[in-house]
Structure 1
Amino acid sequence: MRGQSASADAKPRSSDPYRVMLVDDSAVIRGLFTRFLEADPDVKIVASVGDGQRAIDTLKNSDVEIIVLDIEMPRMDGITALPELLKVNPSVQVVMASTLTARNAEISLRALALGARDYLTKPSSTSEMTGAADFPSDLLSKVKAFGAQRRRKAGAAAPLASATRVSPKSAPAAARSTAKPSLAARPTATARNEFALRKPSGRRAEVIGIGSSTGGPQALFRVLTDLTKTIKQPILVTQHMPPTFTTILAEHITKTSGWVCAEAKSGDVVSPGRIYLAPGGYHMTVKTDGAEKVIALNQDPPENFCRPAVDPMMRSLIKSYGRVLAVILTGMGHDGREGCRAVVEAGGDVVAQDEHSSVVWGMPGAVAQAGLCCEVLPVSDIGASVSRLARG
């Protein structure tokens, strides 16, 4: 069988940089963001305003592709402005920016449900922002990834200055290594062309492992809601997120999907029909303890520049259970690819989200193009597919 990605024909590149509007009540923050972003010739700040109402008024008269939107602002805050901005321009890509608090984590997840593409955790002070190499990289990676995604879907050309690359530092700052990757370790871009599909194994999986990153929360809500409640396998999820966010995400999964989901703790006995979410800052693995399978969290070095990472979770599931059904949803980078390769070698199956429905087709694209998937599907079809494959 063959699959076809949505962007098989490469578009000619353009000299037009990605057009960004910054919305933050601090002129100092906007100035720093401008400096970080315009250091790359592929990005141009076309507007910089101090509150949500000004952002709405500006968007009506400006050709903006990406908005970096603060949450807490006077006059009109970010969560109030977001739906109005999307009414003005439904194709604009909005990245919410906030400091890392439980309240802001909750608001950021609400923003994703309202149409924001992603969130960005800001350092709590300008000195931390300028002193942290990770934050400028995070900001630039997200802006370029969403700019590229928007242009691909519109059939427009990406900037001429440099090829659009997914930075190795594209995962949340709390999930990344501070060590610089060697050239040999850097993920290489692959052409978005045909990919081969494997024949499903036809065997019942003993456990389901799901990996996701950028755009993952909304994809998780959809997939888990669509899963039939007759599934008996335990479900383990690694979503690239910092601490606090994963706590709130587990609560949202329980509320939206009807499944019982909890942020995993070391020593938890893994039970059928429950969902375990990797906590921010920790790899989540499973170990066999007598007749039981138990959660084992660790802070081993990041893998694929992430912690939590998908690959160590998948390896541990193979060791503890044997046959695994792996699901890779939207996200930057290639975390999960080698874990899924091991899943296939152990007789399991892999399902990936397709490019059109992915916010970023990095992780699912990596497993698809490696020829590891038995199905590559829109997010709306994955729940039914997993329900069917889980039965064997």
Structure 2
Amino acid sequence: DLEMPEMDGLQTLSELARLGFTCNVLVFSSLSKRGAEITMEALRLGASDFISKPNGSDTSGGSPAEMVKALLEPKIVALFPDLGETNPTPESKSSPQVVSESSSYPKATIAFMGPKVILIGSSTGGPSALEKIFSRISPPVSCPIVITQHMPPIFTATFAERLSRISGVPAAEGKDGEPLQNNRIYVAPGNYHMRLTGTTDDARIALDQGPLIHSVRPAVDPLFSSAAAIFGNRCLAFVLTGMGADGCDGTVSIKEAGGGVVIQNQESCVVFGMPGAVFARGAYDKIADLDGIADILIGFSGRSITAGGAG
């Protein structure tokens, strides 16, 4: 729990780092702006994922204990896959380390023309991964960047503010009907699916509270599939760390439209679920670690502010 007496969650994470412990940490946070800010700091300090404490007045998901259990179980399974096994087998780390090309779909032509939109989908481990990537990006970015990160309301607004501070690129939650602009980061607001509508020259954000997809809202698939329908081979999508298979169907749509897909490699993922699903489907062009992904983004934006990047 991030709000504990004597030693709070942030102090605990700092102490674990000081003592050299390497482990997955799942934190509990209150559903408030202050709680969101503390949670973002906890993720920066090494927490793997978080769960929002249920609002006492919300009984739509059952009792508070039932709601916590429903949220907690899949995250425990994803973060601690060997828990309960008498003879645990080390997780395979056999995925390609830096770059691999898929043969399941035609190679993207995006490298020759440049993207008109950059899409990112992520879940467990995503906030820290995105912070690492965007710490190497500086404005101006030559196209819009649209992100769906599995997060509840309030947290997505705080996360967008954090990305803006880190990168210097204006970032905010996407608003229904808002036109896409270059050199802007749009984050799907919690509890809303975010799609793109319109044309390549007048693309806009559309938000809805339709049924959960892959048990989440916002989901990555609606963003990817809708962008593929508009931008075709001028889409460039990244699938980062996360549990489940959200984003996989969307990457198929992007590849069928001739767009480009890059997935995060297993070694650098907290959970290889989402990139792993795309890998198994063959709907990708390249696999890269976080530095490699940042290099690709820098290659298209043409700017870097840290040593070790291309530009």
What range describes the TM-score normalised by the shorter chain of this pair? Answer: 0.7 to 0.9
2:101 paired residue number: 197
- For residues 125-164 of structure 1, the aligned pairs below 5 Å read 125=56, 131=63, 133-148=66-81, 159-160=84-85
Over 3 Å counting, the alpha-carbon distance change for 1:345 and 1:130 in structure 2 is: closer
Q: Is the 8 A contact 2:95 2:266 kept in 1?
A: no
2: CA distance between counterparts of 1:318 and 1:386? Answer: 19
Question: Gaps (5+ residues) in structure 1?
Answer: 1-69, 149-156, 165-190
2:129 paired residue number: 219
1:31 paired residue number: none
> What is the identity, as a one-letter code, of the residue corresponding to 1:160?
E
* SS of corresponding position for 2:189: coil
Question: Alignment partner for residue 166 of structure 2, among 239, 249, 256?
Answer: 256
Structure 1 runs, 4 residues or longer, greater than 4 Å off: 125-130, 161-164, 191-196
2:213 counterpart of 1:303 = yes
2:311 counterpart of 1:378 = no
Displacement of 1:229 in angstroms is 3.6
Over 3 Å counting, the alpha-carbon distance change for 1:370 and 1:228 in structure 2 is: farther
> What is the identity, as a one-letter code, of the residue corresponding to 2:287?
V
2: CA distance between counterparts of 1:227 and 1:341? Answer: 27
1:76 paired residue number: 7
Residue deviations 1:106-143 (CA, integer Å, cap 9, x gap): 10100111111111111244996972544203222223
TM-score, normalized by length of structure 2? 0.84
1:351 paired residue number: 262
Q: Is the 8 A contact 1:287 1:293 kept in 2?
A: yes
Residue deviations 1:56-101 (CA, integer Å, cap 9, x gap): xxxxxxxxxxxxxx12222222222221133335213221112211
* SS of corresponding position for 2:6: coil
1: CA distance between counterparts of 2:163 and 2:295? Answer: 18
2:33 paired residue number: 102
2:51 counterpart of 1:115 = no
1:5 paired residue number: none
- For residues 147-186 of structure 1, the aligned pairs below 5 Å read 147-148=80-81, 159-160=84-85
Displacement of 1:290 in angstroms is 9.8
> What is the identity, as a one-letter code, of the residue corresponding to 2:101?
L
> What is the identity, as a one-letter code, of the residue corresponding to 1:114?
L
Question: Alignment partner for residue 90 of structure 1, among 11, 15, 21?
Answer: 21
Displacement of 1:163 in angstroms is 9.1
1: CA distance between counterparts of 2:243 and 2:152? Answer: 15
1: CA distance between counterparts of 2:58 and 2:195? Answer: 36
2: CA distance between counterparts of 1:300 and 1:208? Answer: 24
2: CA distance between counterparts of 1:283 and 1:297? Answer: 6
Range that drifts further, 318-327 or 335-344: 318-327
> What is the identity, as a one-letter code, of the residue corresponding to 1:136?
K
Displacement of 1:374 in angstroms is 1.5
2: CA distance between counterparts of 1:192 and 1:85? Answer: 25
Over 3 Å counting, the alpha-carbon distance change for 1:163 and 1:138 in structure 2 is: farther
Displacement of 1:269 in angstroms is 1.3
Range that drifts further, 98-107 or 242-251: 98-107
Q: Which has the larger radius of gyration?
A: 1
Question: Gaps (5+ residues) in structure 2?
Answer: 303-311
Range that drifts further, 328-337 or 192-201: 192-201
Displacement of 1:228 in angstroms is 5.8
Q: Is the 8 A contact 1:225 1:258 kept in 2?
A: no
> What is the identity, as a one-letter code, of the residue corresponding to 1:100?
L
Identical aligned residues as a percent: 39
Over 3 Å counting, the alpha-carbon distance change for 1:352 and 1:73 in structure 2 is: same
